Chain A
Amino acid sequence: DQQVKQNSPSLSVQEGRISILNCDYTNSMFDYFLWYKKYPAEGPTFLISISSIKDKNEDGRFTVFLNKSAKHLSLHIVPSQPGDSAVYFCAAPDDYNTDKLIFGTGTRLQVFP
């Protein structure tokens, strides 16, 4: 059973517009969430994170929003740039073993000119 779900396998956005990537989770014990970005033939790179004590964390063009009651988080990229084209994974530390990250299946973002 997938504890972290990314239901949109792909997203296409025009350069300059907002990209919104969504993630849902089922385990209410999760208290920290991360977003990773992955380019082809490279490993994922850490992008931004949020603790459950917050509902928003912003870093430059990237903002993550957390809605605990809905068990939902989203990553906003504004403005989107062609270099943002990548696969984005959300992840959460397993509440039983917090050294283990549980990843979603990823959303492929394509930003076109």
Chain B
Amino acid sequence: GAGVSQSPSNKVTEKGKDVELRCDPISGHTALYWYRQSLGQGLEFLIYFQGNSAPDKSGLPSDRFSAERTGGSVSTLTIQRTQQEDSAVYLCASSGIGRPYEQYFGPGTRLTVT
């Protein structure tokens, strides 16, 4: 079956522009997670959704970051007024009921802010 997909795979944007990153989770997975990996760093938790609601937004680095999920499926992560420090690989993952720890990751979106 289809895994987690993310688009675009690569995004180069100018500082100050807004970007939208998209995630399509595995069909039927109720939980969806966003992480980012900066150069030389581990994966940093950003936000997760259970259904369409986001119980934990504590990982969002600033109010320039927001995310939404509609229909319990697709999610978009929006970064407004991008900064160079936002450059990273943004990873999305999903998990099924009863197995929240076994998260299935997409290939990521590499964001470069110039």
| Interface residues in chain A, defined as those with a beta carbon under 8 Å from any beta carbon in chain B | 2, 4, 6, 32, 34, 36, 41-46, 49, 89, 91, 93-94, 97-106
Contact = CB atoms under 8 A, between A and B. Distances in A.
Interface string B85-114: 000000111000000111111111000000
Nearest to A102: B45
| Most chain B beta-carbon neighbours within 10 Å: one of A2, A4, A43, A94 | A43
A98 B100 contact: yes
A34 B78 CA distance: 29
A44 B101 contact: no
Contacts of B101: 32, 34, 49, 93, 98, 101
24 contacts: A2-B42, A34-B101, A34-B102, A42-B107, A43-B104, A43-B107, A43-B108, A44-B91, A44-B105, A49-B102, A89-B43, A93-B100, A93-B101, A94-B45, A97-B56, A98-B101, A99-B31, A99-B33, A99-B55, A100-B48, A101-B33, A101-B101, A101-B103, A105-B41
A38 to B, nearest CB: 8
A28 B18 CA distance: 40
A21 to B, nearest CB: 14
Q: How large is the interface on B (under 10, 10 to 19, 20 to 34, 35 or more residues)?
A: 20 to 34
Contact of A99 (B35, B50, B105): B50
Contacts of A6: 42
- B48, B101, B105, B106: most-surrounded residue (chain A CB, <10 A): B101
A42 B105 CA distance: 8
Nearest to B110: A41
Most buried by B among A99, A102, A103: A99
A45 B12 CA distance: 26
Given A34-B101, A44-B105, A97-B56, A89 B48 contact: no
A89 B41 CA distance: 11
